[in-house]
Amino acid sequence: MSKRTAAYWINKLQLATHIEGGAFREIYRSPVMAPVAALPSAFTGDRNFCTSIYFLLQQHQFSAFHKIKSDEVWHFYYGDALIVYEIDQQGRMIEHRLGCDADNDETFQCVITAGNWFAARLAPGGEYALVGCTVSPGFDFVDFELARQDELTAAYPAHAPLIKELTI
């Protein structure tokens, strides 16, 4: 079997353009709801227990810096290595390498902590990566914030070059 292309997966999985870059499709939204009273104070309403998407990035694309109010688990499925950049609350840059080459420090999963800024792009030389993202409490666009380049750079000047590359 030859390697599948990005176009194959986009068509086969019926992926659509995502606001932060790349292509996605929600594949699961838990029918069970967590009441706002049981959630951390950052949440303004009830949330599904869990949501999950397919997400695909191609060579010329990136997932722009953004943050959400929930933890997000990234799962590697197919293709080339992906780097997920995370800026934690202390301003440290963490690089997660998703892929299937353990000898190259790649892992099948990484966790982005709620409230941290994060972005992603292919490792150099890659064509595309197909991953999944699982969010708990479940994703809601009211919990999503897309970074403004000037504000994020002012907050984390040590990471200015990467922020400039990975913001819309």
Task: Look at the block and give the residue holding tokens 């010329």.
Answer: 60
Q: How far is CA 59 from the centre of its chain?
A: 16
Residue at 63: amino acid letter: S
Give a yes or no: residue 33 inside a domain.
no
Contact, 71 vs 113, CB < 8 A? Answer: yes
CB neighbourhood size of 41 (10 A)? 6
Give a yes or no: residue 21 inside a domain.
no
Please report the pLDDT score of residue 3 as a whole number.
Answer: 80
Beta bridge partners of 52: 28, 134
Give the residue among 60, 54, 68 at the shortest CA–CA distance from 16. Answer: 54
Q: In what helix (H) or strand (E) does residue 132 lie, and over which residues does it extend?
A: strand 128-136
Q: What's the predicted TM-score (pTM) here?
A: 0.94
Structural domain total, the chain: 1
Give a yes or no: residue 49 inside a domain.
no
Give a yes or no: residue 139 inside a domain.
no
**What's the domain range around 162?**
65-103+114-124+146-168
| Tens digit of each residue's pLDDT (9 = 90 or more) over 51-103 | 999 999 999 999 999 999 999 999 999 999 999 999 999 999 999 999 999 99
- Here the CATH number for the domain that contains residue 151 is 2.60.120.10
Q: In what helix (H) or strand (E) does residue 35 lie, and over which residues does it extend?
A: none
Give a yes or no: residue 134 inside a domain.
no
Give a yes or no: residue 91 inside a domain.
yes
Give a yes or no: residue 3 inside a domain.
no
Contact, 56 vs 93, CB < 8 A? Answer: no
CA trace torsion 165, 14, 82, 143 (10° rounding): 60
Give the residue among 37, 61, 53 at the shortest CA–CA distance from 122. Answer: 61
Please report the pLDDT score of residue 2 as a whole number.
Answer: 59
Give a yes or no: residue 28 inside a domain.
no
| Tens digit of each residue's pLDDT (9 = 90 or more) over 101-158 | 999 999 999 999 999 999 999 999 999 999 999 999 999 999 999 999 999 999 999 9
Q: Phi and psi dihedrals of 10, rounded to 5?
A: -60, -45
